[in-house]
Amino acid sequence: MSDDKLKLVETCALLVLLKEAQEISNADLKNLRGFELKAENRNRLRDLKLIDVRKEGQRVFLGVSDHGWRKALDVIGVDPPARSGYAGATVYGQVASLRQFLSASGIALSEFFLPRPDTEVAADTSDVAALIRKAYDSLAQTAGDSVKLARIRAELAGVDRKRIDEALIALNTQSGVRVYAEANQKTLTDADRDAAVSIGNQDKHLLAIK
């Protein structure tokens, strides 16, 4: 393997960070996006100048570098790593489609992946409730699926936490809406616990809307 050839996990990490299109902490990358980037792979992407790594106390923040935005697809290449199997074929097939779209449309990679806009603070609880419903619809595969409040809050990063709490409490009284606790508390991450809303003196971690 060429020294510059990315491992599949490094390609996937770079694609996730491209989609994020803004700086994200390594902890949030794992807890909210479900992608664990180990130090070995993180450092290699940094050494190849594809990502910027910033430390703030014990926290590590990651983001695609200027060089990464310009050269990511070139470094990823067209052929999956050896022995990467169907996962490699799938990922590189999607990259090929992305490359074709960018070529046909004439837009840059940085114009295709845009950061999530800061959500303006809603005027009242009903406005925030509507934003929560919209976030739920974008995250749930089907109506009634359980969605972590940590993921809901991440979608509404610009909305005041207290307003989200108030809206969740109000939504919980509506037909077809459940805000409830994770039954298996051992599965909860720090992010899940931090995102919980207290209803009836019990922390709730999940949202389901039918």
Q: What is the CATH number of the domain that holds 94?
A: 1.10.10.10
Find out whether 205 and 177 touch, Cβ atoms under 8 Å.
no
**CA–CA separation, 59 and 10 (whole Å):** 20
Three-state secondary structure string covering 15-66: HHHHHHCCCEEHHHHHHCCCCCCCHHHHHHHHHCCCEEEEEECCEEEEEECH
**pLDDT per residue rounded down to tens, the chain (210 residues):** 456 789 999 999 999 999 988 889 988 888 888 898 999 999 999 999 999 999 988 889 999 998 999 899 999 999 999 899 999 999 999 999 999 999 998 888 887 887 665 444 444 667 889 999 999 999 999 999 999 999 999 999 888 899 899 999 989 888 899 999 998 989 999 999 999 998 877 899 999 999
Distance CA 24, CA 59 (A): 10
119 domain-assigned:
no
Domain annotation covers residue 60: yes
Last residue of a domain, one of 112, 133, 154: 112
| d(C-alpha 55, C-alpha 67), whole Å | 20
Using CA atoms, how far residue 175 sits from 153, 204, 205, 209, in Å, is: 22, 18, 19, 9
Q: Tokens 């389901």 appear where? A: 208
Q: List the alpha helices (DSSP H) in 32-108.
A: 39-47, 66-76, 85-105
Asked if the structure places residue 140 within a domain, the reply is yes
Same domain (yes/no): 142, 99: no
Cα dihedral sign, 125-128-134-137:
negative
What is the identity of the amino acid at 49? Answer: K
Which of 83, 112, 141 is at the close of a domain?
A: 112
Domain around 196 = 125-209
Is 15 found in the same domain as 73?
A: yes
**How far, CA to CA in Å, does 44 sit from each of 7, 65, 132?**
10, 13, 38
Within a domain: 118 = no
Based on the fold, state whether residues 106 and 169 are members of the same structural domain.
Answer: no
Q: Let me know whether 107 and 133 are in one domain.
A: no
The total number of structural domains in the chain stands at 2
pTM of structure: 0.57
Tokens of 147: 């969605």
